[in-house]
Amino acid sequence: MISPAWGQQNLDAAFRSTGSAVVAAFESQRAVLQTSSAVLLDGRDESGYGVVISPDGHILTKASEFLQLKKPAITVDRTKYPEVEMLAMDPEWDVVLLKIKASGLVPVVYAPSSAVPQGTWVVANGVTTRNARRVLTGIVSANTREIPVAGGPALGVVLKQESKKLEIEEVTEKGGAHKADIRKGDIILKVAGKAVKTISELSDALKDCKAGSAVDITIRRGKKELTVEVRLTAKSEIFSEQMSRNDQMSGDFSNRRSGFPRVLQHDILGTSKIVGGPLLDLDGRCIGMNIARANRAESFAIPVEDLKTLAERLMSQVPAGK
């Protein structure tokens, strides 16, 4: 044993709160992550984690990170599953339901409640080796709450400035309008059936909507009038966010880190790649699912109550036999 001997003014790395000697005390929680968390791979690179929710290979992970992967594969325990199928998605929570061809997996055991006192230990996935999970530890660190969308929800269009109509000058590639096939030159007439004539009326109509939710937009294209469903996107996702001083000192953070109906906050320090996996309590039960690293001091998890409902909803959307 290396001892922090008297007079020595630096604590050996092993004994720091993320050091190997301290982390060793969390072996029973690590064993749960070994079997009930999934490691997401992009080719050979580790690029996030997932929560195993059924013995036959249903896994939840962060949607916006998963969709970036070029060659997704998954490891659970020591087995690598090269085929990953996407079954359902919830854009509001930014969660996707995946399926691997597996049997006999050990799903997470849900904790009865996420309403634990601040200061309660929590455990999450850290960088792994091919065969072994490692842990990162921390505490519940702030009030559970909603994280409103940074910058508010947006359609993903640029409107013509001088025009007296809401004429679209440009459709942003990353926004929901682009996916709904809204085009340059279209004129916005209504939001959810309500007529809008000015930019301020339009932004008022969108103000109370949530990013990820869908809204009916009525447009005029030439002589035709069309109504399309547009999924709203967080402004911060479409237009690159201004880096604040805190962002600059944060190392990397999740691209999507706002617009969640409710989060459990903790102080586990990791990279933006630590998201998607389960957050465990000392009993090894799943108290949430890591959904964003907001900055170096704040990480967010979907609380277990919301996660259970979400998992059930996504599973119910899966066609029979999958």
> Per rule CB under 8 A, is residue 119 in the interface with other proteins?
yes
Q: Which of 16, 306, 269, 22 is nearest to 125 (CA)?
A: 269
> CB of 71 within 8 A of CB of 46?
no
Count of residues touching other proteins (by CB under 8 A) = 47
Is the CB of 67 or the CB of 127 nearer to other proteins?
127
Our finding on whether 115 is near other proteins (CB under 8 A) is no
What whole-number distance in Å separates Cα of residue 129 and Cα of residue 276?
Answer: 17
According to CB under 8 A, which one of 129, 242, 245, 320 is a site residue for other proteins?
A: 245
> Count of residues for the chain?
322
Amino acid at 103: S
CB of 111 to other proteins, least distance (A): 15
Instruction: Using DSSP bridges, classify how beta strands 168-171 and 157-159 pair: parallel, antiparallel or unpaired.
Output: antiparallel
Question: What minimum distance in Å lies between the beta carbon of 213 and other proteins?
Answer: 21
CB of 135 to other proteins, least distance (A): 12
Residues 290, 301 contacting (CB under 8 angstroms): yes
Closest approach of other proteins to the CB of residue 220, in Å: 41
Question: Least distance to other proteins from the beta carbon of 185, Å?
Answer: 41
Task: Please list every residue from 257 through 316 that binds other proteins, using CB under 8 A.
Answer: 265, 267, 269, 282, 295-298
Give least dist CB 246 to other proteins, A. Answer: 4
Binding mask 27-56 for other proteins (x = CB under 8 A): -x----------------------------
Chain positions 137 to 176 lying near other proteins, rule: CB under 8 A, are 138-139, 141-143, 145-146
d(CA 216, CA 44): 41
113 belongs to the binding site for other proteins (CB under 8 A): no
Rounded Cα–Cα distance for residues 227 and 135 (Å): 49
For residues 19 and 40, give the distance between their C-alpha atoms in angstroms, rounded to a whole number: 24
5 binds other proteins (CB under 8 A): yes
Which of 67, 115, 249, 318: binder of other proteins (CB under 8 A)? 249
- Are 271 and 252 within 8 A, CB to CB? yes
Q: How far is the CB of 61 from other proteins (least distance, A)?
A: 25
Q: Considering only CA atoms, which of 255, 299, 5, 277 is closest in space to residue 138?
A: 299
Contact window for other proteins (CB under 8 A) among 57-65, 77-85, 152-160, 238-246: 238-246
Pick out residues in 8-27 that bind other proteins (CB under 8 A): 8-11, 14-19, 21-22, 24-26
Rounded distance, CA 309 to CA 278, Å?
Answer: 15
Dihedral of CA atoms 313, 173, 237, 312 in degrees, nearest 10, equals 10
- Is 212 in a helix, a strand, or coil? coil
What is the token pair recorded at 306? 């919301």
Residues that bind other proteins (CB under 8 A): 1, 3-6, 8-11, 14-19, 21-22, 24-26, 28, 117-121, 138-139, 141-143, 145-146, 244-246, 249-251, 265, 267, 269, 282, 295-298
